[in-house]
C-alpha cells in the first residue's frame, strides 16, 4: 500500500509542478504578477484546453489526409506492378 501512496504523491507533485510552471510562463507572457495570473488561471487553462482540442482535431485531419495519400500511393504501386507483370504469367 505504501507504493500506491508513493505513486499518488509523485503524480500529485508532478501536477503541482506543472501548474506552477504554467503560472510562471503565463505570468511572463502577459507581463503580469503571479498573483494576477493565478486569479486568471481558470481562463488561462480553459484557453489552453481549447488550443489542445484544436491541435488534436488538426492532427487527426492530418492523419486522415496522410492515410488517404498512402492508400493512393499503394494502389498506384500495385497497379504499376500488375501492368509490368501482365503477360508474364504464361
pLDDT tens for each residue of 48-87: 889 989 999 999 999 999 999 999 999 999 999 988 888 6
Residue 65 has what pLDDT? 96
27-62 burial string, b = 16+ CB within 10 Å, else e?
Answer: beeeeeeeeebeebeeebeeeeeeeeeeeeeeeeee
Q: Confirm whether pTM is higher than 0.85.
A: no
Q: Average pLDDT of 23-48?
A: 90
Q: Average pLDDT of 20-30?
A: 91
Residue 4 has what pLDDT? 87
Q: State the Cα–Cα distance between residues 86 and 75, nearest whole angstrom.
A: 16
Q: Which long-range contacts (CB under 8 A, 24 or more apart) does 19-25 make?
A: 22/48
| Residue owning grid cell 505513486 | 7
* 90 pLDDT above the threshold of 70: no
Amino acid at each position: 500500500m505504501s507504493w500506491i501512496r508513493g505513486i499518488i504523491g509523485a503524480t500529485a507533485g508532478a501536477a503541482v509542478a506543472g501548474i506552477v510552471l504554467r503560472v510562471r510562463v503565463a505570468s511572463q507572457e502577459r507581463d503580469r504578477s503571479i498573483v494576477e495570473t493565478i486569479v486568471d488561471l481558470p481562463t488561462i487553462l480553459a484557453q489552453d484546453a481549447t488550443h489542445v482540442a484544436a491541435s488534436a482535431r488538426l492532427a487527426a485531419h492530418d492523419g486522415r489526409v496522410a492515410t488517404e495519400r498512402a492508400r493512393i500511393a499503394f494502389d498506384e504501386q500495385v497497379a504499376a506492378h500488375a501492368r509490368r507483370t501482365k503477360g508474364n504469367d504464361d
